[in-house]
Structure 1
């Protein structure tokens, strides 16, 4: 059962519970309202030429709309198991119809990433898979993360929302490290959301370059990219080194 609520100009999507599955500011429908969803775009610090961006889990379509509207000519694909969520996004959250750049598919995420024809074809994967109770990420097993990695190009990047009780986050980080050369994460926001970034190939990190890139992102896309760099710097200062595969 889907519920759509609106308060102070912000429309929210719920799966029959109080848990917010997505949000949209009504007078800014193509912006990303929630901080952790903004953080799912931190891959922009490391590349700006993604040709194919995929969201696993549609939510209120914030990432899908943003990538489609602001990152042309990239192809954008969203995978959502529940057709009713797709319909709700089209009717209430300003999700455009499919066209040559946008495809929204009613599929299971594991089935999608297991498709052999997708091997090494996706530049960026954004994973946000939860049910109504949002107790822990769905489909998030070592096998699932391995399939995600196999879909990515050699320099592909995955971002994922890890909303679960600590230290379960670490279990997911460890599974990601089995299939990705480097994994990092930002500090917790929204009472439990931790967004991680996983690199198919370990990047060369220069924080001066990241700060410059963050300034460009803030100026052109309006995303709070400086806070992402600060979060990554905090992660590094805690002696959390990327694990090599």
Structure 2
């Protein structure tokens, strides 16, 4: 989870070789394994990379975007595992400073970080059609649902994707905000939405599709999953089976 309120003061904790980011509460806003900083420690952050099932070999020209820096987990992983340019948007300058100081945020020419309101940033027409993958994780210290969740926001998210772009969003499955967000995402993306199962921590990752990549066969998806699992060390075959199960349930309704 990543903060979007400028008055959220980031704090640290450490346990068993993992450094955690907080905003003065018990809620974990991000994590880093100190000896393996590019590893995705939290299960939901791994799921945020499920777009790789549909773009398993992102090219340098496939730009990636992250809304909400958190502890920099997704940024570190994308910079290590892909050759793509990664654009990150984070409202809280203290979070950016904390990540540079304590979370080994790479200073890479492929990494651009804007200190900006994500809701305003996605409205910029210069960003439209630019990104193959968009990862959205926008929470404040209270963790009471995403701080940007309107239909207009998700329509703008769709607009910044390229023709085959994919968005992943971190939601709380059992939270009252879930239905509101799902309804808006489905409307913004013309119903092209898949859900991964809710995690033990309550996180539920949603995938939304702008183009035709959702139309691949079950065999094609499972083959891609094997490739992603081997190349990226992510539990992609399980994700593929879960997404296929969700798709069958939707067709049966």
State the TM bucket, normalised to the shorter chain.
over 0.9
Of 149, 152, 157 in structure 1, the residue corresponding to residue 158 of structure 2 is 149
Whether 1:23 aligns to 2:31 is: yes
Alpha-carbon distance change, 166 to 14 in structure 1, aligned in 2, over 3 angstroms: closer
Contact 2:164-2:210 at 8 Å conserved across structures: yes
Partner of 1:197, secondary structure, is: strand
Q: Which runs of 5+ in 1 are unaligned?
A: none
Q: Give, in whole Å, the separation in 2 of the partners of 1:76 and 1:35.
A: 21
Match of 2:105 in 1: 95
Summarize deviations over 1:116-143 as a string: whole Å, max 9, x none: 1111111111000000011101111101
Partner of 2:237, secondary structure, is: helix
Match of 2:5 in 1: none
Q: Give, in whole Å, the separation in 1 of the partners of 2:197 and 2:119.
A: 28
Contact 2:145-2:175 at 8 Å conserved across structures: no
Q: Which runs of 5+ in 2 are unaligned?
A: 1-8
Q: TM-score, normalised by structure 1?
A: 0.93
Report 1:64-79 matches (<5 A).
64-72=75-83, 74-79=84-89
Of 19-28 and 163-172, deviating more is 163-172
What RMSD over aligned residues (CA atoms) do the two structures have, in Å?
1.7
Q: Give, in whole Å, the separation in 2 of the partners of 1:29 and 1:16.
A: 23
Q: TM-score, normalised by structure 2?
A: 0.90
Of 85, 95, 105 in structure 1, the residue corresponding to residue 95 of structure 2 is 85
Alpha-carbon distance change, 241 to 161 in structure 1, aligned in 2, over 3 angstroms: farther
- Displacement, 1:208? 1.5
Q: Give, in whole Å, the separation in 2 of the partners of 1:215 and 1:165.
A: 31
- Displacement, 1:170? 2.5
